[in-house]
Amino acid sequence: MSARDPQDVGLEGDAELRKDLDATIRARRDLGDDYDSALVESFLEKVEQRLDGAVDRRVRRQLAEQQMAAARGTTRHPNPVDSWGERYGFALLTLVLAVPLSAIAGALTGLAGMVVAWIGIVGVNAAQAIRQRPELLSGLRARSGGDD
């Protein structure tokens, strides 16, 4: 059960997303500026569905692993050492998606759109890092003098 599903790191769906992005760009050229926001929203919805599917599969797999471990009476370390793919696959996927998102945001809204897109990308990666290693958040609270 420790082998990773290729879809979890975005290896199988890249061609499909590239086709969707190409179709979105062609549609923008054909339809003009009036449909920019609708086209971008449609593409981002497809990306979101893809990410949701990967997260759902990962959660189901982890729950199954925990149930199997509980049934066997074995305990699993709360923060297991992850494989390289699990640690960095999500970050690599977001960086791959950052290129078209930056291009779309830059084309539609200029620098402000690119800044918003990258803030979102950094935020998603920070949330993933904290999810994988919750002690990162408690370390930040301790340094800032927050009550923990």
The torsion angle over the Cα atoms of residues 30, 35, 37 and 43, rounded to 10 degrees, is: -50
148 residues of the chain, pLDDT tens digit each: 344 444 444 435 578 878 888 888 888 888 877 888 888 888 888 888 888 888 889 989 988 888 888 888 765 455 555 566 777 788 888 888 888 888 898 899 999 989 999 998 898 888 888 887 777 777 665 566 555 4
**Is the distance from CB of 7 to CB of 53 less than 8 angstroms?**
yes
Residue 1 lies in a domain: no
Residue 2 lies in a domain: no
Taken in order 102, 107, 108, 111, the sign of the CA dihedral is: positive
Residue 83 lies in a domain: yes
Per the structure, how many domains does the chain have?
1
Residue 3 lies in a domain: no
Task: Look up the domain containing 24 and give its range.
Answer: 8-144
* Residue 4: strand, helix, or coil: coil
* Residue 74: strand, helix, or coil: coil
